[in-house]
Amino acid sequence: MNRMAPAKPQLIFLCASCGHESRKWLGRCPQCGEWDSLREQQQSKPRLRGSAVAEVFPLNGEGGEESVRLVTGISELDRTLGGGIVPGSMILIGGDPGIGKSTLILQLLAALAAQKHKLLYVSGEESVRQIRMRAERLAVQSDCIFLAAENSVQAIISLVEEVQPAFLAVDSIQTMYSETVSSAPGSVTQVRESTSLLVNLAKRTDLPIILIGHVTKDGSIAGPRVLEHMVDTVLYFEGDSSQVFRLLRTVKNRFGSTNEIGVFEMKESGLAEVDNPSALFLAERPVNVPGSVVMPSVEGTRPILVEVQALVSPSNLGTARRTAIGADPQRLALLTAVLEKKIGLTLFNHDIFLNIAGGIRIDEPALDLAVIVALLSSLYEKIVDPATVVCGEVGLAGEIRAVGQMEMRLREAQRLGFKTFLMPESSRRQLEAGSADGILVHPVRTVHEVVERLFV
């Protein structure tokens, strides 16, 4: 009697960068363009939905978002989350190794434990003894925090059903695995499947979950790009080991602004909140030095004053260098071309270096005018009045364009004692009467007026 041979397992190739599936190996991923990123995987059987019909609820029901948020008590973290943790939300936090992700999680659990919430911290990288040692160093002690060293997502779900916590922290998602998938932990399939199971747990039980994610060499969260689409909030912990402060930046938030940042200072006892980041970023600002100017930036709902530094020097190389730290290098090249074309400067034989002091990154167009002023100050070797702040967008025609939230920037400059504000003329006309009391406002329309106002 002939027996049919068992069917061979179907093999597919998954991109380690974006999760794209292919039936055959390709040297380059057709979706994200990465080379040699497709890995062979066994095709997992699709999980079929049950036949039960989901319950339907009216839109105008009880339990509005703002009334059910879980406020952590850490104001800088609550700011980035949009005012607190929403029940059933999935939060993903990434950052370089040693930046302070696990420290922040422990301090978050300590703040929630002070409100008598039962909490569960699951680590796939450390033992319970190691977590307790770190907690002792941070002076975190509570009977409401429960610890577990586990890598299986199914086991974590069983722990949640047993402990019934009000909050779950998982460190890290790349070390977790699902027992229904045969690939190794950290693979594209495992990361996606493990996250999917935890998302289902969060939405089904209204349990807020925070995941810690590893980052790649380019600073993005490791694993498939779909991972960031599956969660509700994505936070990046930024900073340099040589700097004392850390920035918690929101890059995705379904329940709040995506432009918020939280500022922390790293101390021996853990992360301390910084209530006045403007003063922190300007604390070591040099006085009466060419190439330095202050710019009021707005990150979400928070105005922050930062120092913009520029260095323009003759180049001995065949091709002059253009380097920007904390700003867009392409924007620096554009503004350099504007100065050459509209003012007649000769910069092709000069090295240009731009730096946003303190390690912060500014992406908004309002930085343009500060870059122009810093470049001119360094080139002309002329000092900009230390009590002056500048803000505005620069167009290709050399015009100074209006930027948003100017009154918020103006109030922050007044609060820190600045006396002069250089801004676009169109923004000056939009200010409310009396908002500029106590500070001298200089409206400008073109880069020519900027040169005449500050350097002639």
| Residue 210, pLDDT score | 96
What token pair was written down for 53? 């019909």
Among 378, 367, 373, CA closest to 311? 378
Q: Is 102 annotated as a binding residue?
A: yes
Q: Is 98 annotated as a binding residue?
A: yes
Contacts of 56 (CB under 8 A, 6+ apart): none
| Residue 253, pLDDT score | 93
pLDDT digits (tens, 9 = 90+) for 325-373: 999 999 999 999 999 999 999 999 999 999 999 878 898 999 999 999 9
| Residue 301, pLDDT score | 81
CA–CA separation, 258 vs 268, rounded Å? Answer: 30
Contacts of 151 (CB under 8 A, 6+ apart): 124, 175, 176, 177, 185
Supply the angle between the helices 368-380 and 447-454 in degrees, to the nearest 10: 50
Q: Are strands 209-213 and 167-171 parallel, antiparallel or unpaired?
A: parallel
Q: Is 97 annotated as a binding residue?
A: yes
| Residue 222, pLDDT score | 57
| Residue 288, pLDDT score | 87
Q: Is 392 annotated as a binding residue?
A: no
For 51, counting Cβ atoms within 10 Å of its Cβ (0-12 exposed, 13-18 middle, 19+ buried), the class is exposed
| Residue 50, pLDDT score | 46
For 346, counting Cβ atoms within 10 Å of its Cβ (0-12 exposed, 13-18 middle, 19+ buried), the class is exposed
**Local mean pLDDT, 10-residue blocks, the chain (456 residues):** 55 76 86 82 55 71 66 92 93 88 93 95 94 93 95 96 96 90 80 92 95 73 72 88 80 88 88 88 88 93 93 89 94 96 93 91 94 97 95 96 93 93 93 82 95 91
| Residue 48, pLDDT score | 46
| Residue 104, pLDDT score | 93
| Residue 187, pLDDT score | 79
Q: Is 185 annotated as a binding residue?
A: no
CA–CA separation, 416 vs 62, rounded Å? Answer: 43
Q: Is 96 annotated as a binding residue?
A: yes
* 310 and 378 Cβ atoms separated by less than 8 Å: yes
Residue whose token pair is 């979706």: 31
CA distances from 134 to 129, 139, 344 (A): 9, 9, 59
Among 98, 398, 93, CA closest to 240? 98
For 322, counting Cβ atoms within 10 Å of its Cβ (0-12 exposed, 13-18 middle, 19+ buried), the class is middle
CA–CA separation, 36 vs 42, rounded Å? Answer: 18
| Residue 368, pLDDT score | 97
